[in-house]
């Protein structure tokens, strides 16, 4: 008989930790399986789930022993608001970890996060910190409030913050900050960028990387139905040898992380 | 208690996956013991590879979702070489689920080709997709035309060596005409229903949301429509019916059985819970044990005259009741 190694599990909410800007670290009881930075979970509330399909979230943080984990959730729609309406002790249904992480064979990437796109990078920063190293992380938002989670990541990474309105850190978009770091020699051609954020920001980062000769990996957010490869709903247009000529790829299976040059717009 | 038959195809229980919602079962095996499922129905296989429709391909709606995947699949050669062996591994020499291959053709000739190849490959049954709303040719040719439905089934039946089910579209004026045509063409059963054509628009962008504009609606929103159509088909044809549309609980399954379905397919609800089919099978057993009924006893029971006579109005009641004027 074939076994069923993966299961959707109900995890009790420990607490909602406010991160500012309408975002929260949604902390749940473990066991949270070992998860690589960039992998995600499908989430829904156990009770009173107001929509049909679960929603995908990167794992934001995890106790080293898996005894708890958290997701970075911003209340933007019915599903996310239902998650943020949970009371401690109530159940969150998790399915994961799913998808492919950021490449594991890249040493010392430059991470670029926009808003809740910070989510996959805290775990990566912790990995580097455990080796006595500081991950470089560019973190941009509209204003200081939009830099939700900045206090979590600052102790474990070398953070360069930017805000569009200049209320914190570099005044301007995170792409301008990246270009500035390249101009100052902090970031050099041939280095590798890991990026996660809103689509327009990722487009801009990818374009800049191409111009400046940096490799760039993007963690995409797409509408998903199943998250485990059966519906073919979350596909993006792709190219490159990994896809053997097939024009579409499922972000839940081969993604959500793609090298920028693999994506066709 | 849960055993059911689709003509000559015997199933341990009436829970099947709906085509296109569970791949070929391989990903789903990670989440539950699929040996407990009655049958797995593959995603539609076409003769040639089909890349599918441009994204976005899905959109959630009130109690449902729209999809316009467009039958993305790598074609019959690939399926026979790569996917079918995995399904056969899940079938585990008859100890696992029955394997039903859903075939999609752009012409009768293609349906025949596919039916020949998959019959020869030793699958348990075929489901003929006459009704995908997301490909132009299928929608125009088969699902809405009784004559073409009958011809396609007749041609497939001529070469198929396993039972053949016709999957019908709800996007017709009278589904019973198509069901009857499928029966006359020799279908061993019908699957009702495929998705309802719908769309979503983003008024701020003043554009349809789905890449192809329109898509198929599935999920709990369509259950009453599906139930009604299964009920109507059950009055029209004698061949077994596979009910599908918005099923997410054991109660839903039994509603379809009462409407006349011999077995039920689970679709969209599997996206929310990848282990749902096995859970529903367990819940069915509990419900039927409590009710002291079997699937066979319940099948079509909603068509029978009420078993308990309705109470006759008392004289006082009769006086009080106003006369209803036609």
Which of A75, A98, A121 finishes a domain?
Answer: A98
Residue B277 CA to residue B264 CA, distance in Å, equals 10
Residue B210 CA to residue A237 CA, distance in Å, equals 15
B261-286 pLDDT, tens digit per residue, is 999 999 999 999 999 999 999 999 99
What value of ipTM does the predicted structure carry?
0.90
Residue B159 CA to residue A41 CA, distance in Å, equals 45
Task: Give A-chain residues touching B246 at CB under 8 angstroms.
Answer: none
Q: Which CATH number does the domain housing residue A168 bear?
A: 3.40.50.80
Helix (H, G, I), strand (E, B) or coil at A21: coil
Query: Which residue in the set B23, B30, B65 is minimally distant from A225, CB to CB?
Result: B65
Asked if A6 lies within 8 A of B30 by C-beta distance, the reply is: yes
Please, are residues A80 and A73 in contact by the beta-carbon 8 Å criterion?
yes
Task: Give A-chain residues touching B30 at CB under 8 angstroms.
Answer: 4-6, 228
CA B8 to chain A, closest CA, distance in angstroms equals 26
pLDDT at A1: 37
CA A79 to chain B, closest CA, distance in angstroms equals 11
Radius of gyration for the alpha carbons in chain B, expressed in angstroms and rounded: 20
CA triple B105-B71-B17, angle to 5 deg: 100
Are A152 and A68 within one domain? no
Q: Which residues, including other chains, have CB under 8 Å from residue B18's CB and lie 6 or more apart?
A: B41, B244, B265, B266, B267
Containing domain of residue A155, as a range?
A: 110-221
Task: Give A-chain residues touching B34 at CB under 8 angstroms.
Answer: 2
- Residue A53 touches chain B, beta carbons under 8 Å: yes
Per-residue pLDDT at B326 exceeds 60: no
Please, are residues B194 and B143 in contact by the beta-carbon 8 Å criterion?
yes
CA triple B238-B241-B243, angle to 5 deg: 155
Asked if B58 lies within 8 A of A8 by C-beta distance, the reply is: no
The Cα-based distances of A76 to A23, A109, B240, B261, B262 in angstroms read 9, 30, 46, 41, 43
- Residue A244 touches chain B, beta carbons under 8 Å: no
Q: Which residues, including other chains, have CB under 8 Å from residue B157's CB and lie 6 or more apart?
A: B164, B185, B186, B187
- Residue B279 touches chain A, beta carbons under 8 Å: no
User: Is residue A88 situated within a structural domain?
Assistant: yes
Share above pLDDT 90 across residues of chain B, in percent, rounded to a whole number = 87
Which tokens go with B151?
Answer: 């011809």
pLDDT at B251: 98
Query: Which residue in the set B51, B67, B90 is minimally distant from A233, CB to CB?
Result: B67
List alpha helices for B208-313, DSSP H.
223-236, 250-259, 269-272, 276-291, 295-298
User: Is residue A139 situated within a structural domain?
Assistant: yes
CA B27 to chain A, closest CA, distance in angstroms equals 7
Are A48 and A118 within one domain? no
Chain B CA closest to residue A50? B63
- Interface A:B, Cβ pairs < 8 A: 111
Residue B143 CA to residue B130 CA, distance in Å, equals 5
Are A94 and A114 within one domain? no
Contact residues, B window 17-36, toward A, CB-based 8 Å cutoff = 20-23, 27-35
Are A61 and A126 within one domain? no
Contact residues, A window 89-108, toward B, CB-based 8 Å cutoff = 95
Domains of chain B: 4-303 (3.20.20.70)
Are A116 and A90 within one domain? no
Are A52 and A139 within one domain? no
Q: What is the mean pLDDT of residues B289-315?
A: 80
CA A234 to chain B, closest CA, distance in angstroms equals 7
Are A138 and A175 within one domain? yes
Q: What is the mean pLDDT of residues B22-33?
A: 93
- Residue A1 touches chain B, beta carbons under 8 Å: yes
- Residue B210 touches chain A, beta carbons under 8 Å: no
Chain B CA closest to residue A56? B272
Which of A70, A98, A126 finishes a domain?
Answer: A98
Are A209 and A121 within one domain? yes
Query: Which residue in the set B31, B57, B90 is minimally distant from A233, CB to CB?
Result: B57
- Residue A77 touches chain B, beta carbons under 8 Å: no
pLDDT at B137: 52
User: Is residue A128 situated within a structural domain?
Assistant: yes
Looking at every residue in chain B, the average pLDDT score rounds to 92
User: Is residue A251 situated within a structural domain?
Assistant: no
CA B93 to chain A, closest CA, distance in angstroms equals 12
User: Is residue A234 situated within a structural domain?
Assistant: no
Per-residue pLDDT at B310 exceeds 80: no
Are A165 and A192 within one domain? yes
- Residue B54 touches chain A, beta carbons under 8 Å: yes
Q: Give the orientation angle of helix B146-159 with respect to helix B108-120, to 10 degrees.
A: 30
DSSP type of residue A125? H
CA A132 to chain B, closest CA, distance in angstroms equals 37
pLDDT at B134: 63
B3-18 pLDDT, tens digit per residue, is 999 999 999 999 999 9
Query: Which residue in the set B28, B51, B74 is minimally distant from A230, CB to CB?
Result: B28
Per-residue pLDDT at B324 exceeds 70: no
User: Is residue A243 situated within a structural domain?
Assistant: no
User: Is residue A250 situated within a structural domain?
Assistant: no
Task: Give A-chain residues touching B270 at CB under 8 angstroms.
Answer: 226, 230
- Residue B75 touches chain A, beta carbons under 8 Å: no
Nearest Cα residue to A94 out of B4, B272, B178: B272
Domains contained in chain A, number: 2
Are A15 and A93 within one domain? yes
When pLDDT is cut at 50, 70 and 90, the band that residue B172 belongs to is: very high
Helix (H, G, I), strand (E, B) or coil at B37: coil
Are A31 and A87 within one domain? yes
Please, are residues A147 and A126 in contact by the beta-carbon 8 Å criterion?
no
- Residue B52 touches chain A, beta carbons under 8 Å: yes
Asked if A229 lies within 8 A of B271 by C-beta distance, the reply is: no
User: Is residue A149 situated within a structural domain?
Assistant: yes
- Residue A51 touches chain B, beta carbons under 8 Å: yes
Asked if A237 lies within 8 A of B54 by C-beta distance, the reply is: yes
B38-78 pLDDT, tens digit per residue, is 999 999 999 999 999 999 999 999 999 999 999 999 999 99
pLDDT at B321: 47
Q: Tell me the pTM.
A: 0.92
Asked if A2 lies within 8 A of B32 by C-beta distance, the reply is: no
Q: Which CATH number does the domain housing residue A76 bear?
A: 2.40.30.10
Residue A203 CA to residue A175 CA, distance in Å, equals 10
- Residue A234 touches chain B, beta carbons under 8 Å: yes
Q: Select from A78, A82, A225 the residue whose CB has the most chain B CBs within 10 Å, as the one to mutate to test that interface.
A: A225
| Burial track B55-65 (b if 16+ CB lie within 10 A, e otherwise) | bbbbbbbeebb
pLDDT at A251: 97
Residue B251 CA to residue A111 CA, distance in Å, equals 49
Q: What is the mean pLDDT of residues B105-116?
A: 94
Q: Select from A45, A94, A235, A256 the residue whose CB has the most chain B CBs within 10 Å, as the one to mutate to test that interface.
A: A235
Are A133 and A170 within one domain? yes
Task: Give A-chain residues touching B54 at CB under 8 angstroms.
Answer: 237
Tell me the pLDDT of chain A (265 aa) as tens digits.
345 678 789 999 999 999 999 999 999 999 999 999 999 999 999 999 999 999 999 999 999 999 999 999 999 999 999 999 999 999 999 999 999 999 999 999 999 999 999 999 999 999 999 999 999 999 999 999 999 999 999 999 999 999 999 999 999 999 999 999 999 999 998 999 999 999 999 999 999 999 999 999 999 999 999 999 999 999 999 999 999 999 999 999 999 999 999 999 8
CA B228 to chain A, closest CA, distance in angstroms equals 22
Which of A74, A98, A122 finishes a domain?
Answer: A98
Residues of B with active-site annotation: 132
């Amino acid at each position: 008989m074939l076994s069923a190694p993966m299961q959707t599990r109900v995890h009790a909410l420990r607490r909602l930790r406010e991160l500012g800007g309408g975002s929260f670290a949604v902390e749940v009881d473990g066991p949270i399986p070992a998860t690589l930075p960039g992998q995600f979970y499908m989430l829904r509330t156990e009770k009173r789930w107001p929509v049909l399909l679960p929603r995908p979230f990167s794992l934001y943080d995890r106790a080293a022993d898996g005894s708890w984990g958290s997701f970075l959730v911003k209340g933007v729609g019915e599903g996310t608001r239902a998650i943020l309406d949970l009371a401690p002790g109530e159940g969150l249904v998790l399915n994961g970890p799913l998808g492919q992480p950021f490449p594991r064979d890249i040493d010392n990437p430059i991470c670029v996060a926009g808003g809740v796109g910070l989510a996959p990078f805290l775990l990566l920063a912790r990995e580097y910190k455990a080796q006595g190293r500081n991950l470089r992380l560019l973190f941009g938002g509209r204003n200081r409030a939009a830099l939700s989670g900045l206090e979590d990541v600052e102790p474990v990474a070398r953070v360069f913050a930017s805000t569009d309105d200049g209320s914190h850190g570099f005044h301007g978009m995170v792409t301008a900050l990246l270009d500035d770091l390249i101009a100052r020699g902090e970031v050099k051609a041939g280095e590798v960028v890991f990026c996660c954020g809103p689509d327009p920001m990722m487009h801009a980062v990818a374009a800049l990387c191409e111009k400046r000769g940096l490799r760039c990996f993007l963690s995409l957010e797409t509408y998903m139905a199943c998250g485990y490869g059966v519906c073919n709903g979350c596909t993006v247009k792709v190219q490159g040898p990994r896809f053997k000529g097939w024009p579409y790829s499922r972000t839940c299976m081969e993604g959500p992380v793609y090298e920028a040059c693999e994506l066709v717009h | 208690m849960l055993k059911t038959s689709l003509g000559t195809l015997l199933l341990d229980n009436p829970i099947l996956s709906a085509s296109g919602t569970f791949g070929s079962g391989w990903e789903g095996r990670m989440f539950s013991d699929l040996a407990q499922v009655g049958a797995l129905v593959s995603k539609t296989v076409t003769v040639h590879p089909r890349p599918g429709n441009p994204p976005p391909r899905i959109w959630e709606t009130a109690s449902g979702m729209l999809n316009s995947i467009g039958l993305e699949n790598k074609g019959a050669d690939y399926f026979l070489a790569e996917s079918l062996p995995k399904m056969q591994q899940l079938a585990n020499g008859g100890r696992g689920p029955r394997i039903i291959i859903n075939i999609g053709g752009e012409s009768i000739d293609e349906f025949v080709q596919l039916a020949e190849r998959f019959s020869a490959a030793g699958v348990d049954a075929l489901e003929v997709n006459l009704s995908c709303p997301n490909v132009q040719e299928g929608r125009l040719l088969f699902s809405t035309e009784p004559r073409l439905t009958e011809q396609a089934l007749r041609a497939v039946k001529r070469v198929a060596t396993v039972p053949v089910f016709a999957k019908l579209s709800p996007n017709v004026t009278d589904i019973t005409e198509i069901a009857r045509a499928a029966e006359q063409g020799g279908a061993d059963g019908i699957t009702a229903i495929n998705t309802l054509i719908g769309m979503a628009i983003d008024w701020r962008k003043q554009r349809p949301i789905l890449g192809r504009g329109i898509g198929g609606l599935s999920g709990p929103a369509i259950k009453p429509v599906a139930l009604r159509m299964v009920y109507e088909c059950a009055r029209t044809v004698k061949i077994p019916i596979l009910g599908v549309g918005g099923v997410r609980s054991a109660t839903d399954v039994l509603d379809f059985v009462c409407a006349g379905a011999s077995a039920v397919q689970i679709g969209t609800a599997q996206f929310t819970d990848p282990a749902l089919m096995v859970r529903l099978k367990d819940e069915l057993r509990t419900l039927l044990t409590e009710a002291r009924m079997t699937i066979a006893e319940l099948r079509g029971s909603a068509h029978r005259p009420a078993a308990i006579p309705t109470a006759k109005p008392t004289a006082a009641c009769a006086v009080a009741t106003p006369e209803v004027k036609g």
